[in-house]
Structure 1
């Protein structure tokens, strides 16, 4: 699901327009001008300056991007960070062992010294942003090829980033909007010493598993907690025992008063990607070619991981994170296929493009826009089968650790074997470290099955487009049964154990590397994946220019109804209300905008991987032991719904009331509105959130970690 932004071109006066409060992910710098009055009518009690300020602390200072893919928020004066359980999953899995399984059993640090540092985890604070559209677009002209245009833009982007990073103090990112019709730069500050404070057991944090994923009603404690550390003066620093908890510019107070239907709800976060400007041909390509291959490839990977994960806790830990990520997108893409097909989204877009094409071919517009729709449709026609092919191959790369070995560890060994003795001495430690980390995350029998299964799927299903030559040769020689070849390749390859890597480093041999069966196979696949015919290359050039013109023309002609650019992992704000769905007999709640602990216990299945619960939860529900977190109705609310417009990347985002107080944590969307990445449905689209009272109940009452709650500022 997703939200979007309305961005202004500097100096252009906009005509008054009504704003749909539940649709759109908005830039914070434009709130005063575009959204503030509407937000106030809905229940906002803050000024725009209190939400976004460059010179004074504001809400934006409490919102961080979490490890590059999720959102989190600061909830105490000592840098306590709250995000989703599934966002912290990788770090929690990394810190777990079969003997001390934090992922399975949960964990709460008794004190600051007990907080645990994962190997690689960072949070990113947003400092400021600005419009550089005129500056960048002054460097390009319509006669440029897309390659020349990109080169000129990248040169200017590099200059802007250097001008604003203050000698490396900040990370600066210049991003395109409206398919390259506007550009803004964003200044960030990264903190890399981030430590695990606590997590509920997986039976709560991932309750419902794949079955409930993207579904409502939900009953999930999808949260985990970390802490940001800094050096003595509050600046970012590498991990050190001497570092101290960060004193943030702003942190969120926590409201435990509860929510009700039509309450104001505001979400700030880093939505990853929407495609609401996507042409009809792109939607059709995804529904019929790309997504079905993605789904089938993901399922093949999941099935082969699962049969090993079920064998032991140790193997489950190795593949838990990869399996969870694969499963999430597997269900998402199937939901997208179903929703986009059901609502006929491609037909709706095609009708809009037909109307646009008529406008584009009027004499006044023809020179600039006349070929736009034709070029776009030609590109999709040429690449439909390639998109199917590419998605089968991408799932091979994503689910197997050896699918890209030639370009990961293999590239390092290639540099090593070609280096002189002095350079080799410098390279060896990093290669050993890279290999050591890799072998922690693999089980060779599982990897053999994964690779053999994915190769067979790719060779037999990606048939509308030429497959990689090496795969075709092996398949032809073995009737597309890759088991024998993969087993032999693993027996011969230098990449399948740490001992073999060390032996190669001791006596490097270029001929051995270049004849290694996994090295040659994976390099052949990656080369093939990245190779395009001259015809496709030209069509892609024309498509890029035409898509940019389509968006420009839709805005100019006012044929398009969208007023905002797509999400692209930059900080956005979305506002709406707590809003129910029609009554659902599966939900015991009085109004279908929340769920309860009683409802969670009704789903309980003893010993089930998805629906088991700790005995203590069953007992606490029986005794109605909710502490201070019970709702006025006497129940403990678990999850609730709002009509905010979010998408992937918003996971972990704070849900705030009109005073900027934390009321929940966004973690999912409903499958009925899975087309939301492409088209927003105001009737169906919902954000699923963890009620902050349930979060605190799990920490304080269930886990006995009241000292964590005591750090926060609670209001009612």
Structure 2
């Protein structure tokens, strides 16, 4: 269940106002198609989504369940962000072959590198199944009974809905449980690394520039989808062949200009656009400050060691980037929510909604929604805070504690399901832990443990703490754990897991690292989780009814879109600069000159490869320059979030013009509140991608696969210039 959902009502919004939105692609006909056309789109809704004919949706797979990607050739060549493929690039790297440092380019199919477990999932069809899912659900039921019936109906609908044998049915909820959609999908499981620039290009600016504009990052990587001889999904095999897509995206060489139409297609992860104002206040004043403080401490320690040790830098590169990403996002989010007066705006909108409820005589059905929100969010706040501390400390930022929690779950499996289930879980855990310890440093983790365990004891209310934490000596506990626990290296933890279930449990119970985790987890699941989950269930029920009120009482032309939930969405807008503060205006396009202006020799964030410097000084940009300048990034008004990383930026004609990878810092609050003055998404200009592949890497084999076009100049194709 989600805790936070944001109130974002449009009680009086002009039909063609740029107000954000993440729209279901199968439902674009009507208002959305008209609005896109007014913004300059030359396509139709069916060009974007069509069940019976090839359309844009067939070129936009979900990449590995977390990012978006796009097919850009008839041989299954896949483009996504460098940061989306970062862990795969890292996994193939070593001190001898450091692809993070030097980049990687396959000059033939044989050189492409397999990535076990990586997937690309296409949407085949979307169908509304709300009536089937809500059959038998009544207002008189408790929230728990409603959820149970809905889950039963979902399982039955998934089982009985038609699909091919290699496909899968999935059902997702929209509008907070007021609508349910069935997605028929097919997932390809043989995805190979084809190309990646060095991190000095693909991650240029690193954490300093993350969420920042102006930006100068070549955040892209290339993979390829492989299929069996029938062009269907298959596990990795040397016999597999490059996938032939239903559709791939032509690439425009014409670039972008202010006010150009942009469509971003992808799988946005989570937004909470319909929260009440009290929830936003908790985000600003309680939740985000706690998260930020914990990650402040963890990141400072990791950064210190990464700067001093090249091996630790490789081991922690992906982990550090993951932790830093949302740390900085939460800081910008708080800034944006405060600056835009989101709480005040929501309170005013709540007054307007209350007036509509009274005007329409809906007091009995909807009149108590806002008072109940106030009561429930006030009651849940201390439990929410304790939960965030547990998640951030035990599950996300201290690796020993995360390993210990996996052992805690293993013990629960034995106690609840018996020895056979224990053995199965234990065997899988041993295999999984080997990969985790490959990138583990006891020295780094020990220092992170000490800092975060002290924050935990200080920040969590005493009533929710384990008894042993009430007079905690963090340094003494840390030394005891990291001197005596088996969790500090793979060999010792593997040995700890040897033997039958009784033997393993006995060894776990004597391990000081496990004792800490067990005390923390027991306290959390006894004192925090039950109350939090009960209150959250009630809030979710209120949110569903609240969403129903918005849908019923808002004007017909209100732009009420469903929250993001990792399903395929369309967001549209235009290329546009913005003014984040008085007397400051940011242009919408950056160039290679900006890379050189930021260049700091030897700096891990702002170093520049010598070859890129040489190309810049020679102005050797090939056919990818415009007016003698090499564009790098651009921004637009598309409403994006996490999961849109790697999303294609598409022009008015359906051609690829860029690759979405970030948002501006002042607009990161768009997960809760989209402000058209501040909310901007950041994209890599596709011409910079091609320039790096062609002129920097010399991977002309890849350029030759692509369909390059000049839509603004009226030319259908562009031959690569030597």
The TM-score normalised by the length of structure 1 is 0.91
Q: Secondary structure at the match of 2:334?
A: helix
Larger displacement relative to structure 2 (137-146 or 202-211): 137-146
* Residue 542 (1) aligns with residue 534 (2): no
Q: Secondary structure at the match of 1:676?
A: helix
Distance 1:369 1:585 in 2: 42
Aligned pairs for 1:212-611 (under 5 A) are 212-360=209-357, 364-396=361-393, 397-412=395-410, 429-463=427-461, 466-469=463-466, 472-474=467-469, 476=471, 480-508=472-500, 509=503, 510-531=505-526, 532=528, 539-558=535-554, 562-582=559-579, 592-611=587-606
Partner of 1:630: 625
Larger displacement relative to structure 2 (649-658 or 547-556): 547-556
Partner of 1:700: 694
Larger displacement relative to structure 2 (32-41 or 117-126): 32-41
Larger displacement relative to structure 2 (438-447 or 327-336): 438-447
Change (3 A) 1:419 1:380: closer
Partner of 1:11: none
**Where does structure 1 lack aligned partners over 5 or more consecutive residues?**
7-14
Partner of 2:719: none
Distance 2:424 2:321 in 1: 37
Match of 1:648 among 642, 667, 671: 642
Larger displacement relative to structure 2 (187-196 or 132-141): 132-141
Preserved CA contact (<8 Å) 1:26 1:574: yes
Preserved CA contact (<8 Å) 2:58 2:123: yes
Q: Secondary structure at the match of 2:402?
A: coil
Larger displacement relative to structure 2 (386-395 or 277-286): 386-395
Change (3 A) 1:46 1:423: closer
CA RMSD of aligned residues (A): 2.8
**TM-aligned CA deviation for residue 386 of structure 1:** 2.6
**Where does structure 2 lack aligned partners over 5 or more consecutive residues?**
1-5, 711-722
Partner of 1:76: 73
**TM-aligned CA deviation for residue 389 of structure 1:** 2.5
Q: Secondary structure at the match of 1:32?
A: coil
Distance 1:106 1:709 in 2: 17
**TM-aligned CA deviation for residue 505 of structure 1:** 4.2
Distance 2:88 2:381 in 1: 38
Distance 1:351 1:530 in 2: 38
Preserved CA contact (<8 Å) 2:575 2:637: yes
Distance 1:16 1:276 in 2: 16
**TM-aligned CA deviation for residue 335 of structure 1:** 0.6
Change (3 A) 1:533 1:251: closer
Distance 1:42 1:239 in 2: 43
* Residue 146 (1) aligns with residue 143 (2): yes
Preserved CA contact (<8 Å) 1:474 1:485: no
Change (3 A) 1:160 1:357: same
**TM-aligned CA deviation for residue 533 of structure 1:** 7.7
Preserved CA contact (<8 Å) 2:190 2:235: yes
**TM-aligned CA deviation for residue 501 of structure 1:** 3.4
**TM-aligned CA deviation for residue 681 of structure 1:** 1.3
Q: Secondary structure at the match of 1:134?
A: helix
Distance 2:140 2:539 in 1: 15
Partner of 2:3: none
Larger displacement relative to structure 2 (134-143 or 415-424): 415-424
Q: Secondary structure at the match of 1:229?
A: strand
Partner of 2:714: none
